[in-house]
Amino acid sequence: MASFKDIISGDKPVLIDFYATWCGPCKTMMPILEQLKDEVGDTAKIVKIDVDKNQSLATKYQVRGVPTLIIFKDANIVWRQSGVVQSSELAGLLKQHA
């Protein structure tokens, strides 16, 4: 299995969704991310990370609320926001950083 560093180190933008199974807004994000995945195809990666199972990563990136969405490019954070974000906005951000 690839390490988190490997996942975020590519030249494609990587959208990480820090979520929790008990979080209502996180459930709202699920179909939005599915739609986004269809829209961006393989120009970007979309990865979901359960904060309860990956507390060290959540701590490292100071995730205090879920969902927290972070876009990485070449292992650097290029965008970050907490809460529900529409797929059109996310698609635009991923294209901008592609």
Residues involved in catalysis:
23, 26
Phi-psi map region of 12: left, alpha, beta (phi>0 left; psi -120 to 50 alpha): beta
Pairing between strand 45-50 and 68-73? unpaired
Residue 83, φ and ψ in degrees, nearest 5: 100, 180
